A and B are shown apart, each in its own frame.
Chain A
């Protein structure tokens, strides 16, 4: 399952307004982080790339996008271990998952 919203449903205890509100916050916020990460790769600013991946990670956890969280952890680890050659590929993979997840999440708030 690409997006598992069961945690968010439990967290919001059936409050549909809050459920949609948190999804919208993610949808508003995540594209900016991906844009910053794209720029970080272009600038070879690996430290900031790690920080941006790090900041997005818990939000993907709350949205139940486990595969994206996993890739973000790999980006963070790649930065730590200075394996910069893999980071662009990992970013592209993360962006692809994010874009697929956005389609699912948008259906929840429409």
Chain B
């Protein structure tokens, strides 16, 4: 019987980044099942699917001003599913932001860029 794939949610309002990260993870680990979401709200609606890891962008409202930001979504996820590991993404290396996300329960804070894909894969594999 085939082993069940680990489910990874990617939440980013940037379609290009969602797709590149999704492709990278599945190409490098066929044991992953990826679902992408353009908003945090859409991710929350699917939390009952029991993701093994969530990759969550810090800025989720650069396009839709009414969309919740990553920190609010992180708090909501942790309120509902305390045990699910959340990896936060940002384009900015800010100690304050990183500390804030860790304080609210993220396991790691990754800076978006060329080196981020490998780092995220390693974090996902370490947490499934």
Please measure, in the bound complex, the distance between the C-alpha atom of A52 and the C-alpha atom of B64, giving whole angstroms: 12
Q: Which residue of B lies closest to A32 (CB)?
A: B63
Q: Taking the nearest CB of chain B, how far is it from the CB of A9, in angstroms?
A: 13
Binding site for A on B (CB under 8 A): 13-17, 19-20, 23-24, 59, 61-63, 91-92, 112-114
Q: Across the interface, which residues of B come within 8 angstroms of A25, CB to CB? A: 15-16, 19
The answer to whether A55 and B92 touch (CB under 8 A), given A25-B19, A61-B113, is no
The answer to whether A62 and B59 touch across the interface, beta carbons within 8 angstroms, is: no
Interface of A is mostly: helix
Interface of B is mostly: loop
Chain A 25-55, CB-CB to B under 8 Å as 1, else 0, gives 1100100110010000000000010011011
Instruction: Determine which of A22, A51, A59, A61 lies in contact with B59 in the assembled complex, contact meaning CB atoms within 8 Å.
Output: A51
Chain A count of residues within 8 A CB distance of the other chain: 22
Please measure, in the bound complex, the distance between the C-alpha atom of A61 and the C-alpha atom of B61, giving whole angstroms: 21
Q: Across the interface, which residues of A come within 8 angstroms of B112, CB to CB? A: 57-58
